[in-house]
């Protein structure tokens, strides 16, 4: 009878490495669960790291928060509980702001990123920012806004609150993913004015994916001059959703629209129309107003768009604070 030679240390190491490699391949082959949080942004905001691996500091008061987010050194700031605001707090460069648990964040005001780079905002509840935006991104690059819950109410006039998320003044390379936008008139504006072409042209590259817009009247989003990729989003109860204007290029892909009047328009409100290409969407009876299709059909980054048939279930299960 043949006897098996004893396993040497080298053979055992080789076997262990082979098993580990096979396990890694198996894990990589598994599909991502619906709503599973990415560890880094997909889309135009790819490469945004915020505070990276800096030691986190946890704050629960406005004064501590303002101090913690100031400056441009790498920092991770965790917000515990709900902090009342009036107006906005400026966030410094190279910052991650992360809500603790499912209900931490801000009410009454919002956050502003002005002329900064490399900022991550995640897992925050921001509600009822009176007279201002819940989040303003102004003149800033490399931004990731992920798994936040942004809301107000529609009991007041449309200008009582401003936008839930406005991206302006040549901001660039932004990803907006897995957020909820709820009970609001003006959802997300990218490019604030028809007369700002000299500053905005060549910028305002924004990806929106897996967001849930629920009872938001319009600007889902409204984009001027820039390049927008809007995929795998769930829109419910809008008057006018995606609005491409002033020569903006939009790719609108595999989204679901329900109880929405106009899903996509390129020819409203501005003197110059925008461009839009549509593919794989479930319009749910909504109309479209496409005066011109554009040249933006292939985003310059890797991504995987799930079919529209599964978008509503994955987005409602996975979007918003408390889902990471």
**How many domains, the chain?**
1
Q: Dig out the tokens for 204 from the structure.
A: 């305002």
Would residue 4 count as lying in a domain?
Answer: no
Q: Residue 12: inside a domain, yes or no? A: no
User: What is the number of alpha carbons within 13 Å of residue 302 lying toward its C-beta?
Assistant: 2
- Distance between CA atoms of residues 198 and 4, nearest Å: 77
- CB 121, CB 146: distance < 8 Å: yes
Angle at 165 between CA 266 and CA 289, to 5 degrees: 15
Per-residue tokens: 151: 């809301």
Residue 25 domain-assigned?
no
pLDDT tens digits for range 179-209? 999 999 999 999 999 999 999 999 999 999 9
pLDDT tens digits for range 242-285 = 999 999 999 999 999 999 999 999 999 999 999 999 999 999 99
245 tagged catalytic = no
| Res. 12: pLDDT tops 60 | no
The active-site residue out of 112, 122, 205, 219 is 219
Q: Is residue 22 part of a domain?
A: no
What is the C-alpha separation between 189 and 179, in angstroms, rounded?
Answer: 15
Rounded to whole angstroms, the Cα distance separating 42 from 125 reads: 22
Closest by Cα among 101, 139, 94 to 120? 94
The CATH number that applies at residue 303 is 2.160.20.10
300: containing domain: 50-318
Confidence grade of residue 16 (pLDDT, cut at 50, 70, 90): very low
Residue 24 lies in a domain: no
Determine if the peptide bond prior to 183 is cis (ω within 30°).
Answer: no
Phi-psi region of 268 (alpha: psi -120 to 50; beta: other; left: phi over 0): beta
pLDDT tens for each residue of 120-177: 999 999 999 999 999 999 999 999 999 999 999 999 988 899 999 999 999 999 999 9
* Domain-embedded: residue 11: no
Give residue 36's pLDDT.
57
Kindly report the pTM of this predicted structure. Answer: 0.89
Query: Is residue 39 a part of any domain in this protein?
Result: no
- Read off the pLDDT of residues 58-80 as tens digits, 9 standing for 90 and up: 999 999 999 999 999 999 999 99
Whether 32 maps to a domain, the answer reads no
């Amino acid at each position: 009878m043949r006897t098996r030679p004893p396993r040497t240390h080298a053979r055992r190491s080789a076997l262990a490495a082979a098993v580990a490699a096979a396990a890694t391949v198996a894990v990589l082959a598994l599909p991502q669960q619906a709503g599973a949080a990415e560890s880094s942004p997909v889309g135009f905001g790819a490469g945004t790291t915020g505070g990276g691996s800096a030691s986190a500091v946890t704050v629960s008061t406005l004064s501590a928060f303002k101090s913690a987010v100031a400056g441009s050194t790498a920092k991770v700031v965790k917000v515990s509980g709900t902090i009342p605001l009036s107006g906005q707090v400026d966030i410094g460069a190279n910052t991650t702001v992360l809500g603790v648990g499912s209900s931490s964040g801000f009410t009454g005001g919002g956050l502003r990123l002005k002329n900064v780079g490399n900022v991550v905002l995640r897992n925050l509840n921001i509600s009822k920012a009176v007279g201002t935006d819940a989040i303003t991104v102004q003149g800033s690059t490399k931004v990731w806004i992920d798994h936040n819950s942004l809301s107000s109410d529609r009991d007041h006039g449309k200008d009582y609150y401003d936008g839930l998320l406005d991206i302006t003044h040549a901001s660039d390379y932004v990803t907006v993913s897995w957020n909820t936008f709820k009970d609001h008139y003006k959802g997300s504006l990218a490019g604030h004015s028809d007369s700002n072409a000299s500053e905005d042209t060549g910028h305002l590259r924004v990806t929106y994916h897996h967001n849930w817009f629920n009872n938001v009247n319009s600007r889902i989003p409204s984009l001027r001059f820039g390049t927008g990729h809007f995929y795998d989003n769930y829109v419910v109860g809008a008057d006018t959703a995606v609005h491409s204007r002033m020569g903006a290029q939009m790719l609108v892909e595999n989204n679901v629209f329900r109880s929405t009047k106009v899903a996509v328009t390129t020819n409203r409100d501005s003197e110059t129309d925008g461009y839009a290409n549509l593919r794989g969407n479930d319009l749910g009876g909504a109309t479209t107003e496409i005066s011109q299709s554009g040249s933006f059909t292939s985003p310059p980054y890797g991504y995987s768009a799930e079919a529209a048939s599964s978008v509503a279930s994955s987005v409602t299960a996975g979007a918003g604070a408390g889902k990471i």
